Structure 1
Amino acid sequence: MKKSLGKHLGMFLVISLLALLLPAASKTKAADFPLASGDGVIVSALDYLSDVQEANGSIGGLAISSWAVMAIAAAGEDPHQWGSPSIVSYLSDNPDQIDWDKATDIERAIMGIVAAGEDPTDFGGEDYVSALKSLYDGAQIGYADTVNDDFWGILALIAAGESPSSAIIQNTVDFIIWVQNEDGGWNWEVFEESDVDDTAAAIMALVAAGNPDPDVIDMALLFLMNMQNEDGGFPSLYGAESNSASDAWVISALVAAGEDPTLWESGSGSSPVENLLSLQDSNGSFKKTASLSANPEFMTAYAIPALLGDAYPVTPFAGTPPEEADLIVSDIDVLSTIYVDDETVVTATIKNIGGEDIDTSFRVRLYADGDSIDTVTLSGLDADDDVEVELEWTPDEAGSYTLTVVADLDDDIDEDREDNNEETLDVEVEAPPEEADLIVSDIDVLSTIYVDDETVVTATIENTGDEGISDTFQVSLNINGSSIALAPVSGLDAGASLPVEFKWTPLEAGE
């Protein structure tokens, strides 16, 4: 079996590859991957989904409809134009079909809502993002004994605009890494037998969150390598038949990880792209396996983004840019851990998504829990351009805060929309870390000082910090900039003080 892993794994896989290298049969390269939305494979797959759409706008029910919206948007089509009522209206009208205690239900819905270009904080009268965050326990999302709700939780929140550096994302990343199995993979349940689908989802989630540990991704890729079948495709579990869902999610995960799926070739010379293409039926749908046509709406909705070279969360439908200017705050981030009384830089990206340049100045303001913090002025912004601004904040108390950045604070700019000019970010402010802080609180001499007389100089050393000092440190007596004597001090508790004595014999009169 031969595979190319591009930039990943390197020497890590030398031993494994030596055992797997066999001559590959000559073959035709996978068809122009990634495919274009106008490719016949994609067109026929979309036609199939359109053909099975029901009168109420649904494609296979609520769950499949969310995946279908993602596929439609990935292909560059407007889901609002699919059906009358549309598939987007169907999602909006049926929140009662969501299990609001089940994170994966909410996560799938959020990704579909965002893919359609809608706001998941206000869709059909529901705030899906707040509902999902309510299932976060401070360490992970959803059930503590499952991890698929953590993969898709990260992907859903990132899609909804959550900063990758936020506590909910980074703590969930830590949980995912902690439960990675020794073989490099994951199951949907914690520490159960690794499977392909959940490992692919984990890769996409970790990459979306900033790929914090390349070794974790490398281990996951190695697991996938060892799971590939001879036909180039992937099973969900080892030894099973290749299926289109696993093929699709692996392709998307490889794209997310910077790999070329067409170079992941089996001993027969086939790639997952070729295997997935081979599973398309004559009606445009995708069969589950070569011998079984099951859940074709699901399989087709998964296959379309993968063959287009898209990873989850898919690229949302952008629509036609408005003719007028339109300012948004596309991202807010903090560059470091936030401590009380420390100046923190809040970075915001301001973008003009409209079709008209802005030639006049406008103001951008930062708020913390509604209190005005800092303001910057921009001199304009061209159409389809963005600029990063830095705003400063020094919190005076620990706790949870909601940061809000507002563009065009004074409504100086005529915009296509005036209701999309702000973005929020939830942050935690921590108490300052405990540190020692040494000061010299007093210096005294016990008598009048005479030339050639030994004089005792007493200095009081105080630790005004919150942490004690256990190591020995030196105190120096300096006269007119020159060190005259050193005295060792063997530690000093927080809040404690002690006198240190020096002996000095001046040789000349003067100051």
Structure 2
Amino acid sequence: MKRKLVALFMAMALIGSAVAPVLLSVGSARVAAAGDPVGKTIEYLKGRQQTDGGFGEPGRDSSNQLTGWVVCAIAAAGEDPSSWRVTGKSPLDYLSSHAGDWTTLGDLERSCLAVCSAGADPRSFGGRNLVAEISAQIKSDGHLGDMINDHCWGLIALSAAGEPIPEGCRNWLVSMQNIDGGFSFAPESASDPDDTGAAMQALKAAGEAPGGNAMERAAFFLRFCQSSDGGFCWQSNSSNVASTAWAVQGLSAAGEDPDSTAWSKSGKTPLDFLRDMQQADGHIRYSDASDSNPAWMTAEAVPALLKKPYPLSSEPEAQNGEVPSDSSDSSDSSQATTTADAPADSSWDSFAEDALFTFPAEPPGEEVAPEVVADREPKRSSDSSGAGSSGSPDDSGNLFAMGAPGVNSGNGNTGGNVPLFLIICGAFITVLGLITLGLSKKRHSRQY
């Protein structure tokens, strides 16, 4: 009996040693404070507007990409982007003057979404018809662009412009759903929470019912991507704001309430994680460990905090059969003081200019994401955009290793908490097997 107890204690200790690091991994970025999280993000973003009307990260010039996302955030918060002026110039003035710089499909999609969110005309903006240019890239099979990511944001942009979405476009997207319920950046790649959230928004834009099969499967996948802090992660066990924001918007598009107990993990919801990442000056950091691209992360978090998917609607999103309360209600947030106005590392300049729809990479010295050419797009070796590199692919050479929950992506990182769960289960079963074997040998020794 004594030996049995000793073996049992050994098994418990082994499991405890596996769980302890997770419980101790709470970042130091969280210091309790109270206030209106959305109001503070808007005040922070106002401070990032430049004299040309556009927006830039601390220490950087304005960029098309960041300005487009901030315009969407301003509109989501119920403000008029055209009224935000510095030296008489608004964000729309900046975008219009740089419309000739939009050379990729991603540029057109993001800019169309921003223009529509601001209430401007996407069919005549900066001398371009954004709707016609996007629609021209729809193929005969319904696929828009080259990647699933292109397709999703194309549907969202066209819907924002009031264009009817062809049935073939919706059917093509549904056919790209992986067996685990998630979606990936490119066909035949592992699912990730970011693109799953984007696909859910695109499905809603294309007319998919919130309770439809595709939506429910996608929401089921996101449950396995959620971390114990309430947030969502990509290629890591550490949640980040970018992944969480798009996952929240996707869940909202599916009629889920991401701030409800149904999406609470260890007492934390996805919106709790976003609020926990807000700092004293109003900006939202990328993760516990990183404060890269504060303006970009703040802009991405605003519609998520308001539970508003793209394209933006004047009507509140119905969630589980109910209409949510006014999104302007304040709630507690956890914040800490940070020096957000410190100039960014110069090696990030090219990344800031080329970011559009890709996973955000980490600054030098921290966890590195794949090479990027857009906000969440892993750089392809055949890419001809000339975008700067901010990371490297995994050692296997697979540029699309997305790190789905429970799947090692080749660089030692995994997404979600499924791998940890499997390790714990495996260790427990192994110890029980050893105990059983020991007891069996003891019985046989007594028989002979």
Distance 1:53 1:187 in 2: 33
Q: Deviation per CA, 1:114-140: give whole Å up to 9, x if none.
A: 011001000111101111111112223
The structure 1 segments of at least 4 consecutive aligned residues displaced by more than 6 Å after TM superposition are none
CA distance in 2: counterparts of 1:195 and 1:301, whole angstroms: 21
Structure number with greater CO (CA < 8 Å, separation at least 6) is: 2
2:259 aligned residue: 262
- Does residue 228 (structure 1) correspond to residue 229 (structure 2)? The answer is no
Q: In structure 2, what is the equivalent of residue 67 of structure 1?
A: 69
**Deviations 1:49-92 (CA, angstroms, capped at 9, x unpaired):** 11111111111210111111111011111111112210111011
- The answer to whether the Cα contact below 8 Å between 2:156 and 2:202 also exists between their aligned partners in 1 is yes
1:43 matched to 2:39? The reply is yes
TM-score if structure 1 supplies the norm length? 0.51
C-alpha distance in structure 1 between counterparts of 2:175 and 2:224, whole Å: 22
Cα distance between partner residues in 2 of 1:137 and 1:233: 36
In structure 2, the partner of 1:399 is none
Distance 1:149 1:58 in 2: 24
Q: CA deviation at 1:216?
A: 1.3
The answer to whether 1:195 aligns with 2:217 is no
C-alpha separation in 1, matches of 2:48 and 2:233: 27
Task: Report whether the alignment pairs 1:181 with 2:185.
Answer: no
- Deviation per residue, 1:219-255 (Å, 9 max, x gap): 1111101110011110024x43101111111111111
* Runs of 5+ consecutive residues of structure 2 not aligned to the other structure: 1-34, 57-62, 316-448
Q: Distance in 2 between matches of 1:233 and 1:251?
A: 9
Residue in 2 aligned with 1:127?
Answer: 129
Q: What does 1:411-450 align with in structure 2 at a 5 Å threshold?
A: none
Structure 1 partner of 2:284: 286
Larger Rg over CA atoms: 1
Shift of 1:142: 4.2
How far apart, CA to CA, are the structure 2 residues paired with 1:292 and 1:46?
Answer: 21
Write the mapping of 1:352-431 to structure 2, written as runs, cut at 5 A.
none
Q: Residue in 1 aligned with 2:308?
A: 310
Give the helix-richer structure, 1 or 2: 2
The answer to whether the Cα contact below 8 Å between 1:66 and 1:109 also exists between their aligned partners in 2 is: yes
Would you say the 8 A contact 1:231–1:266 is kept in 2?
no
User: Could you tell me how far apart the structure 1 residues matched to 2:293 and 2:215 are?
Assistant: 30
Partner in structure 1 of residue 97 of structure 2:
93
Structure 2 counterpart of 1:218, one-letter code: E
Q: Does the CA contact (< 8 Å) of 1:111 and 1:313 recur in 2?
A: yes
Matched, 1:115 2:117: yes
Query: Following the alignment from structure 1 to structure 2, what is the Cα–Cα distance between the partners of residues 48 and 138?
Result: 45
Task: Provide the rounded CA distance (Å) in 2 between the counterparts of 1:259 and 1:230.
Answer: 19
What is the CA distance between 1:305 and its match in structure 2? 1.0
Q: 2:52 aligned to 42, 50, 56, which one? A: 56
Q: Distance in 1 between matches of 2:266 and 2:110?
A: 36
Kept after mapping to 1: 8 A contact 2:55/2:70: yes
Are the equivalent residues in 2 in contact too, given 1:229–1:242 (CA < 8 A)?
yes
| Aligned-pair CA distance for 1:177 | 1.1
Return the offset for 1:306.
1.1
Whether contact under 8 Å (2:285, 2:297) holds in the other structure is: yes
Alignment equivalent of 1:245, drawn from 242, 256, 274:
242
CA shift at 1:266, angstroms?
4.6
- Letter of the 2:130 counterpart: Y
Which residues of structure 1 form unaligned runs of 5+? 1-38, 318-511
Q: Is the 8 A contact 1:111 1:159 kept in 2?
A: yes
- What is the TM-score normalised by the length of structure 2? 0.58
Q: Is the 8 A contact 2:257 2:263 kept in 1?
A: no
Please state which structure has a larger fraction of its residues in strand. Answer: 1
Task: Please tell me whether the aligned partners of residues 45 and 295 of structure 2 are also in contact (alpha carbons under 8 angstroms).
Answer: yes
Aligned-partner Cα distance in 1 for 2:152–2:163 = 14
Report deviation, 1:316. Answer: 6.7
Contact 2:286–2:293 (8 Å) recurs in 1: yes
Q: Secondary structure in 1 aligned to 2:132?
A: helix
The change in CA–CA distance for 1:141 and 1:95 in structure 2 (over 3 A counts) is farther
Which of 78, 81, 95 in structure 2 is aligned with 1:79? 81
Equivalent-residue separation in structure 2 for 1:185 and 1:65 (angstroms): 29
Aligned residues: 271
Give the whole-Å Cα distance in 1 for the aligned partners of 2:150 and 2:232: 22
- Separation (CA, whole Å) in 1 of partners of 2:263 and 2:120: 39
